[in-house]
Amino acid sequence: MSEVTVTVCVECLRACCWQGEFMCDKARTADITEKTIKELSELNLENPEYWKKDIDMKLRLRAERC
Ligand SMILES: [Zn+2]
């Protein structure tokens, strides 16, 4: 599970920003990056529900490709 990464906004490091739920000031121009759950837990910036949502979506896409 630790190798699973969550897509987050580069500027605020929040998945909720990238998902468009709570966009930061730089969201329009900001790039995205991948962070592990461990890294995000240490930052403790948002509700883990957003990471779960991102991971669930990725697992679903992966399953569809197979
Ligand atoms: Zn952001």
Coil/strand/helix, residue 33: strand
Say how many Å lie between the CA of residue 66 and the centre of ligand 1: 32
Q: How confident is the model at residue 3 (pLDDT cuts 50, 70, 90)?
A: confident
Span from the CA of 30 to the centroid of ligand 1 (angstroms): 7
Map residue 11 onto helix, strand or coil. coil
Residue 46 CA to ligand 1 center (angstroms) comes to 12
Ligand 1: distance of its center to the CA of 47 in Å?
Answer: 15
Residues 18-35: tens digit of each pLDDT: 999 999 999 999 999 999
Q: What is the pLDDT of residue 4?
A: 87
Amino acid 37: pLDDT? 95
- Region 25-54: what's the mean pLDDT? 96
pTM for this predicted structure: 0.87
